[in-house]
Amino acid sequence: MQLHRKGEGFTLIELLVVIAIIAILAAILFPVFAQAREKARQADCISNQKQILLAIMMYSQDYDEMYAMLGDGAPHWDGNINSDDQYFSIENALDPYIKAGVPWGPTNRSTIWTCPDDGVPRDDCDGSPDIGTGWATSYAFSRYDPNNPIAAFGVFGGPWWGYQGALSDASVGAPGDTVIMWEEFGADLYSRFMAGTRYNNADVANPAWPVWPNYFTIGDLCGDGYNWEYALGGHNGLTTFGFADGHVKALQHTSLMHVNSNGHWNGLAPNMMAYEGQYHNE
């Protein structure tokens, strides 16, 4: 005679305990996975910036040790969204060393000019966002204007509304501590127009500037229903910055310099964007 043992299942209490344990583990591990994913995106962004910095150095070698201009001449606005550029900006000057492709057509986020986290739509006022913009440019550059105190300490000249002259490599007193580029996401930063810069260099260190995924808007400038968005790039709360010697580092953006209540640099050391060595800790 065979004896058959009655099968025993889980009790309701045991099932609830297992579900609770799984939920606790998920609550612990999901943020870890999210941080790991963000760390991988940050690594991609750092790699992009290093390649752009290398192109800047190669450009300088070919042009008498001078930094590139942020732009040349004035933009010409047109509706030829799939056939021409509207402005010769720094991304065009560096493209012989990068080969990112044609700077027109629909928004392209697959080049080294785009941070993987940059989800801000680009808008050229051609009917709707992400039409006729070319590559999304996620990286911005310090501006040099000796006639304007809020931009007198960057290194790149221009664009058309700025000072028409850039600094030389030799002018940078502490290249290993001098920030010349950073992550910046914005609606009007794309290759068919131009890469980013600031009228006031101190904006980059201003606590009022949001770090992605936070952003601010300046309204629907094209009348196409999209409120233009802007933010400093961010990975787990840190922005990646490119230095004059070619290295890249993730920092709190507010650590670059002291910003006064007017949003301007207070003129005191340290200022990690200043080309003059006296404002650095090196």
SS3 state of residue 101: coil
pLDDT tens for residues 202-252? Answer: 999 999 999 999 999 999 999 999 999 999 999 999 999 999 999 999 999
The reply to whether 237 falls in a domain is: yes
Indicate whether 32 belongs to any domain: yes
Residue 2 lies in a domain: no
Residue 1 belongs to a domain: no
Percent of the chain having pLDDT more than 90?
A: 81
Q: How many separate domains does the chain show?
A: 1
Q: 62: Cβ–Cβ under 8 A, 6 or more apart, which residues?
A: none
Check: pTM over 0.85? Answer yes or no.
Answer: yes
Evaluate whether residue 180 is within a structural domain.
Answer: yes
Residue 243 domain-assigned (yes or no):
yes
Range of the domain at 43: 15-279
Asked if the structure places residue 194 within a domain, the reply is: yes
Residue 113 in contact with residue 135, Cβ under 8 Å? yes
> 8 lies in a domain?
no
Which tokens hold the place of 253? 């953006």
Question: Could you report the per-residue pLDDT of 53-97, keeping only the tens digit for each?
Answer: 999 999 999 999 999 999 988 999 888 998 999 999 999 999 999
pLDDT confidence band for 2 (50 / 70 / 90): low
Peptide bond into 121 cis (omega under 30): no
